[in-house]
């Protein structure tokens, strides 16, 4: 009995132990009004990441967890989650490809004038492209290095992100040594960057490709830690996110796990996929 009690006590201590990690606070701001719209937090430990995003008008944050080469999207409102890993990527790519082939086959019997009109409509609504000439030539991303800027207390280098000729983002990166605790977080961000690239490649010919331009994808193409990310829409700045703080803290391993009792859902169910 004594051994059982000691074992239980040791297990309880290990399961609740805290680890040294990094907590990063990011603030979003509307570019036109210059008003802050939300404050988000990013937690990192080793190669694990937890992102807490707060959207205006909602009480529960949107939670994304990355660990063990798997992305978990957590919905606290209905206590569900779905996961994205390499197997999920392969299934998504396969299903998207099959769906587009079926659509292309259906359009083959449509009169040329009507087909051309539908292709233009689909190209606008589905920026990821369609096979057979329906928007598959989506402009490639390119990054131009600009001059030095000052963002708050940070001296940073501005990188401009383009899709073809359209500017989509500005990212100002400060030397990692200048951002307290950032060096410890870089391992986690780089791991998530590699995963984001794999995901982007798996859906590059789908409607999901368009919103995937984010610093995680091209972290290895910029020199430093992003302290400012400015989004552009139609050539005009629409919003920006800037670094508020980065601090070392003791973190519970539970932060990087889906809460007990949450139900896993299949994101492919509505697409006709099967687990």
Q: What pTM was estimated for this model as a whole?
A: 0.72
Low-confidence ranges of the chain (pLDDT < 50): 1-18, 125, 127-136, 207-212, 272-275
Per-residue confidence (pLDDT) for residue 1, from 0 to 100: 42
Per-residue confidence (pLDDT) for residue 220, from 0 to 100: 79
Per-residue confidence (pLDDT) for residue 253, from 0 to 100: 86
Given the structure tokens 């080793």, which residue do they identify? 46
DSSP 66-113: EETTEEEEEETTTTEEEEE-HHHHHHHHHHHHHHHHHHHHHHTTS-HH
Closest by Cα among 77, 87, 86, 88 to 259: 77
Phi (first) and psi of residue 157, to 5 degrees = -105, 130
What structural domains and CATH numbers belong to the chain? Answer: 18-271 (2.50.20.10)
Per-residue confidence (pLDDT) for residue 171, from 0 to 100: 94
- DSSP letter at 138? P
Per-residue confidence (pLDDT) for residue 62, from 0 to 100: 86
């Amino acid at each position: 009995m004594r051994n059982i009690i000691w074992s239980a006590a040791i297990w309880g201590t290990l399961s609740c132990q805290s680890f040294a990690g990094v907590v990063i606070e990011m603030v979003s701001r509307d570019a036109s009004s210059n008003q802050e719209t939300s404050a988000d937090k990013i937690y990192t430990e080793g190669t694990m990441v937890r992102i807490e995003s707060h959207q205006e008008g909602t009480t529960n944050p949107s939670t994304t967890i990355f660990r063990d080469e798997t992305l978990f999207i957590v919905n606290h409102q209905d206590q569900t989650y779905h996961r994205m890993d390499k197997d999920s990527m392969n299934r998504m790519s396969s299903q998207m490809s099959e769906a587009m082939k079926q659509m292309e086959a259906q359009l083959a019997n449509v009169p040329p004038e009507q087909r051309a009109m539908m292709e233009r409509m689909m190209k606008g609504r589905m920026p990821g492209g369609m096979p057979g000439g329906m928007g598959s030539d989506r402009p490639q991303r390119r990054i131009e290095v600009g001059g030095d800027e000052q963002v708050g207390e940070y001296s940073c280098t501005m990188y401009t992100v383009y899709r073809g000729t359209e500017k989509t983002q500005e990212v100002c990166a400060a030397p990692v040594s200048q951002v307290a605790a950032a060096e410890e977080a870089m391992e986690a961000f780089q791991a998530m960057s590699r995963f984001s690239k794999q995901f982007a490649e798996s859906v590059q010919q789908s409607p999901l490709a368009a919103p995937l331009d984010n610093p995680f994808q091209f972290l290895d193409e910029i020199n430093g830690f992003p302290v400012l990310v400015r989004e552009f829409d139609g050539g005009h700045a629409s919003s920006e996110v800037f670094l508020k703080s980065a601090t070392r803290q003791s973190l519970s391993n539970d932060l990087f796990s889906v809460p007990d009792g949450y139900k896993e859902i299949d994101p492919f169910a509505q697409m006709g996929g099967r687990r």
